[in-house]
């Protein structure tokens, strides 16, 4: 597990506009559905999107932009940590919480390109290991924003 690349570095050098020429984002079959949560049929649209595409983007979700930006900052801080720091909270075989590959990736023959940090329950132990000096600040981020949602 010590050979996990720092994905923050990978994403900083990855060009998201470098799309293979055999793929077109203009085609209906390649687009991710956009669902307006204020519509009465939103649950049916989400169900269909999961079945046909596996993902969707939502509009009118009610989450304030300031909250999204604050959580994005928290997430960037987390994934910008050196790999050696993130490995202090590596997910153990008997746990779902911690740093590592996305748990569902184990069922697919090809592993996804990425890393994940799963939080189930109280994350204080993990936060203390990741940010010994700033644990209270990050606990506040996590707790406060969780209450808003």
Question: Same domain, yes or no, for 103 and 118?
Answer: yes
**Closest to 67 measured CA to CA, from 139, 149, 11:** 149
Decide if 12 is inside a domain. no
Number of domains making up the chain: 2
Question: Same domain, yes or no, for 129 and 144?
Answer: yes
Question: Same domain, yes or no, for 82 and 117?
Answer: yes
Q: Which domain holds residue 47?
A: 32-59
Decide if 24 is inside a domain. no
Decide if 79 is inside a domain. yes
Question: Same domain, yes or no, for 43 and 84?
Answer: no
pLDDT at 19: 40
Per residue in 58-112, pLDDT (tens digit) is 888 887 888 778 778 878 888 888 888 888 888 888 877 788 776 665 666 666 6
Question: Same domain, yes or no, for 44 and 70?
Answer: no
Band of the pLDDT at 127, cuts 50, 70, 90?
Answer: confident
User: Rounded to whole angstroms, how far apart are CA atoms 96 and 62?
Assistant: 29
Q: What is the pTM of this model?
A: 0.55
Contact 99, 116 (CB under 8 A): yes
């Amino acid at each position: 597990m010590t050979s996990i690349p720092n994905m923050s570095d990978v994403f900083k050098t990855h060009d998201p506009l470098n799309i293979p020429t055999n793929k077109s984002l203009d085609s209906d079959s390649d687009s991710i559905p956009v669902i307006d949560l204020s519509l009465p049929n939103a649950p049916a649209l989400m169900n269909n999107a999961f079945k046909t595409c596996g993902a969707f983007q939502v509009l009118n979700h009610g989450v304030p932009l300031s909250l999204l930006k604050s959580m994005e900052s928290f997430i960037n801080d987390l994934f910008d940590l050196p790999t050696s720091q993130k490995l202090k909270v590596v997910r153990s075989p008997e746990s779902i919480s911690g740093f590592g590959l996305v748990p569902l990736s184990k069922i697919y023959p090809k592993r996804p390109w990425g890393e994940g940090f799963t939080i189930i329950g109280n994350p204080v132990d993990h936060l203390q290991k990741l940010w010994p000096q700033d644990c209270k600040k990050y606990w506040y981020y996590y707790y406060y924003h969780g209450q808003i949602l």
